Amino acid sequence: MLKVDFGRTEIKGSEPHILTEFTMLARNLRELLAEDESTECADMKIAKAIELSKKTEDELDEEISKSISILGRMMGSVSKGKSAKTKESSDVEPSTGNSAFDDFLKDIFGGGAK
């Protein structure tokens, strides 16, 4: 049995049972992520999550600091490059005007600059 609730994790059962449940969880997560994007994108996100799971707390803190730094630079470049003629359509997904920043937001929040 696998049970996770915001940092509280409970794992019970035999190794084969636990690994089977983990495989089923990963498969279902992949399908869920691929609904809005490609399976390749879903695979990259899952691979990133597994990569992060192998890091120490200090390494995770460093990853967070790097992400915050990238976010700050992207926000700075967006505010500098903002055009007064930007017009949004209600049919178009909201955008910051910077595709790299939009991708970054989508990776973090799963829905872009909404």
**Confidence band of 104 (pLDDT split at 50, 70, 90):** confident
pLDDT of residue 17: 96
Report whether pLDDT(105) > 90: no
pLDDT of residue 71: 87
Distance CA 70, CA 51 (A): 19
